[in-house]
């Protein structure tokens, strides 16, 4: 297994290109199952999770062509997906266990084929993460749901799914995406109340509209869908990754550097920008993206993770690494996932002063972190250790980098181009 070695202490300076959003792409790709025509997605990031989703769609019979780069110099890859015929409606355990987002084929398969069998995702390093709300939404649309042999089996009634009122008791990104993809092909109107407002949900809704869906209230907590008998193909560009953007903004801040994030969008990350501004980091729009400058003092702040537009749980670990080096104390409260402080013991091994009390962590900033061998159990926890390593004195070795490869494209290259002393060591780890 590969490892990443960092010699810390270099302020980052330069430009980092931001890729297409992983979590948007993982919802946009299964949308191809809703039509027999071609869905052409550009600005697709090159990541292990995207390959896993492509493999899953391939099992369902989706034809795919990867066309390198889009015309006009836009970064990212272009993938054409054509589900002319769906040959198999089963999402097998070996793929679903690798990536929970596989559950996003459930809604479109039931809507288009009238049935689907998707393996239950099972446990996950950041909490139990049930899918009950996805299933309740499909039941509201008339699907019969059973669990058989570890698989969710969903069947639409004889006349197909029927529009309904879906009220989510709590905000769920994936649940909203599954409900939306099922509702666009249901008969009649659907209202999704307490819908997730994350930019990735908005991106999916806009792509569905480009495919012929009728959706009102996009970007609000109440989505109204008028079901269509069929959808058609479309060309759609994946929005830039706000979590990758936030991560590199923290990389600039934690090294007290100055970096331009090319193709980044400040309007997608207001809560993160506000948090960084509160601790003394300057963010500004440039003609190409966003500039992050932190050559002065970085102070502690209190944050709480919340559904969008609140502070994202996917930035919690990275902000904690920054707070570990800030002047003063900070309190970080995680309200979305239980058990999402797996990075804390590793940061502590690097000299951070952090204590966890239930869902809150108290972070007392230290003047210097020190490099250490570390390892993490999920994607954002792993990247928080990279960030800490960039700031630490001496050498940090991050093990189990396959987590990073799920969500960060060319991480060493992007950071190295701004002066970071970072390298990947291939092989055993
Ligand atoms: C998505 C993102 C993930 C991000 C999360 C929250 C993708 C591929 N992943 O995950 O990176 O951290 O949103 O912004 O887009 N819940 C239930 N029952 C359900 C569904 C969810 O209880 O049926 C709970 C979860 O356990 C969690 C909360 O709801 O506590 C939010 O989860 P959700 O928004 O569904 O996250 P994902 O869509 O899995």
Percent of the chain with pLDDT over 90: 89
Kindly state if the Cβ of 130 falls inside 6 Å of ligand 1: yes
Is 124 an active-site residue? yes
Judge whether 406 and 243 are in contact, CB under 8 Å: no
In 94-205, DSSP assigns E strands to 115-119, 144-148, 151-155, 165-167, 189-193
Contacts of 124 (CB under 8 A, 6+ apart): 100
Question: Which tens digit of pLDDT belongs to each residue from 258-312?
Answer: 999 999 999 999 999 999 999 999 999 999 999 999 978 999 999 999 999 999 9
| Catalytic one of 124, 207, 279, 418 | 124
- Tell me if 380 CB under 6 Å of ligand 1: no
Ligand 1, atom 33: nearest CA belongs to which residue? 172
Task: State percent of the chain over pLDDT 70.
Answer: 96
Inter-CA distances, 53 with 27, 197, 227, 265, Å: 10, 23, 26, 26
Q: Are strands 360-364 and 353-357 parallel, antiparallel or unpaired?
A: antiparallel
- Mean pLDDT over all residues of the chain? 95
What's the angle, vertex CA 399, arms to CA 393 and CA 402, rounded to 5?
130
For 356, the token pair is: 């966890």
Enclosing H/E stretch for 263: none
Output the residue whose Cα is nearest ligand 1's atom 17.
130
- Is residue 125's pLDDT more than 70? no
Least confident stretch, 56-70, 162-176, 303-317, 356-370: 56-70
Mean pLDDT computed over 376-385: 90
What tens digit of pLDDT does each residue of 239-264 get? 999 999 999 999 999 999 999 999 99
Residue 121: pLDDT band by 50, 70, 90 thresholds? confident
pLDDT at 378: 87
Name the residue at shortest CA distance from atom 32 of ligand 1.
Answer: 172
* pLDDT over 70 at 197, yes or no: yes
Position 429 scores a pLDDT of 42
Pocket test for ligand 1, best of 98, 172, 334 (most atoms within 8 A of CB): 172
Query: Quick one: pLDDT at residue 1?
Result: 83
| Res 18: pLDDT | 98
Q: CB of 142 closer than 6 A to ligand 1?
A: no
Calculate mean pLDDT across residues 190-212: 98
Is 338 a residue whose pLDDT tops 90?
Answer: no
pLDDT above 90: residue 428 = no
| pLDDT recorded at residue 234 | 98
What distance in angstroms lies between residue 223's CA and the mean position of ligand 1's atoms? 18
Cα separation, 258 vs 310, whole angstroms: 25
What is the full DSSP assignment across 355-419?
A: EEETTEEEEE--S--B--EEE-SSHHHHHHHHHHHHHSBSEEEEE-THHHHHH-TTHHHHHHTTT
* Stated pTM of the model: 0.96
Please check the confidence at residue 151 and state whether its pLDDT lies above 80. yes
Nearest Cα residue to 343 out of 326, 319, 367:
319
Q: Are 401 and 424 in contact (CB under 8 A)?
A: yes
Distance 7 CA to ligand 1 centre (A): 35
- E strands of 45-76, at which residues? 63-69
| Mean pLDDT score, 105-118 | 98
Nearest to 328 by CA among 359, 300, 369, 287: 300
pLDDT at residue 353, as a whole number? 98
pLDDT digit string (tens) for 64-79? 999 866 555 455 789 9
Q: Is the pLDDT at 90 greater than 60, yes or no?
A: yes
Q: Is the CB of 325 under 6 A from ligand 1?
A: no
pLDDT of residue 127: 60
């Amino acid at each position: 297994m590969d490892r990443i070695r960092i010699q810390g202490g270099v302020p980052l300076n330069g430009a980092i290109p931001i890729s297409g959003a992983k979590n948007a792409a993982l919802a946009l790709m299964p949308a191809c199952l809703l039509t027999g025509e071609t869905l052409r997605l550009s600005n697709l990031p090159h990541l292990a999770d995207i390959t896993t989703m492509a493999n899953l769609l391939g099992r369902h019979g989706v034809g795919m062509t990867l066309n390198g780069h889009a015309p006009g110099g836009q970064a990212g890859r272009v993938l054409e997906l054509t589900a002319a015929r769906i040959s198999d409606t089963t999402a097998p355990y070996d793929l679903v266990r690798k990536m929970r987002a596989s559950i996003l084929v459930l809604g479109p398969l039931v809507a288009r084929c009238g049935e689907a069998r998707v393996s239950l995702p099972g446990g996950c390093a950041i909490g139990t993460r049930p899918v009950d709300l996805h299933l309740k939404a499909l039941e509201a649309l008339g699907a019969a749901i059973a669990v058989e042999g570890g698989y969710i089996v969903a069947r639409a009634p004889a006349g197909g799914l029927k529009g309904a009122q879906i009220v989510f008791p709590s905000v769920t990104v994936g649940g909203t995406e599954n409900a939306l993809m099922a509702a666009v092909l249901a008969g009649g109107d659907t209202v999704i109340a307490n819908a997730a407002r994350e930019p990735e949900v908005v991106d999916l809704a806009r792509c569905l509209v480009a495919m012929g869906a009728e959706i009102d209230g996009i970007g609000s907590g109440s989505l109204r869908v008028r079901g269509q008998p069929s959808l058609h193909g479309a060309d759609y560009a994946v929005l830039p990754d706000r979590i990758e953007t936030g991560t590199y903004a923290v990389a600039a801040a934690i090294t007290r550097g100055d970096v331009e994030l090319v193709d980044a969008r400040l309007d997608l990350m207001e809560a993160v920008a506000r948090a960084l501004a509160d601790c003394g980091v300057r963010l500004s729009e440039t003609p190409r993206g966003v500039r992050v400058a932190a050559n002065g003092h970085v102070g502690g702040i209190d944050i709480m993770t919340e559904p969008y537009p609140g502070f994202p749980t996917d930035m919690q670990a990275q902000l904690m690494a920054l707070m570990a080096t800030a002047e003063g104390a900070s309190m970080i409260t995680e309200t979305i996932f239980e058990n999402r402080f797996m990075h804390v013991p590793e940061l502590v091994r690097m000299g951070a002063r952090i204590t966890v009390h239930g869902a809150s962590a108290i972070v007392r900033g230290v003047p210097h972190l020190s490099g250490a061998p570390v390892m993490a159990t999920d994607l954002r926890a792993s990247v928080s250790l990279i960030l800490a390593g960039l700031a630490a004195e001496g050498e940090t070795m991050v093990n189990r980098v396959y987590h990073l490869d799920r969500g960060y494209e060319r991480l060493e290259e992007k950071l190295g181009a701004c002066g970071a002393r970072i390298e990947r060591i291939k092989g055993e780890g």
